[in-house]
Amino acid sequence: MRSILYQKIYNIVKHIPFGHVATYGQIAVLAGIPGNARQVGYAMHALPDDSDVPWHRVVNARGEISIRSDPFYANIQRHLLNAEGVTFNKNGRISLEHFLWQTE
């Protein structure tokens, strides 16, 4: 990996249990970089496809998929989450019951 920060982020993402999701902001806090949710997303973008990091369990603060540059991967993410039993609402948001750390 390019940096220790990435390692830390990946390690936290690996801690997300099966069938649960977490937000970029929450992961940023756990990684010791509160407010830097962008770097979490950037780390996910730099993540290789053959990685064992469950990147699909990371979503934005709205509980929705955020991938901008390549919408193709957003479809994959939705598919993977669906395969884990994660349910989506009408708006495409993930139900709050699936969030690992709820902000309330």
Partner DNA sequence: GCAGTGACTAGTA
Partner DNA sequence: ATACTAGCCACTG
Using CB under 7 A, list all residues that contact DNA. 2-3, 5-6, 23-25, 33, 35-47, 55, 60-62, 66-69, 73-74, 77, 91
Minimal distance in Å, beta carbon 18 to DNA?
Answer: 18
- How many residues does this entry show for the chain? 104
Rounded Cα–Cα distance for residues 20 and 7 (Å)? 21
By C-beta, is 77 or 98 nearer to DNA?
Answer: 77
Minimal distance in Å, beta carbon 92 to DNA?
Answer: 10
Sign of the alpha-carbon dihedral angle for 40, 41, 46, 49? positive
By C-beta, is 19 or 66 nearer to DNA?
Answer: 66
Minimal distance in Å, beta carbon 14 to DNA?
Answer: 14
By C-beta, is 5 or 19 nearer to DNA?
Answer: 5
Minimal distance in Å, beta carbon 3 to DNA?
Answer: 3
AA letter at 85: G
Rounded Cα–Cα distance for residues 84 and 23 (Å)? 17
Rounded Cα–Cα distance for residues 98 and 67 (Å)? 20
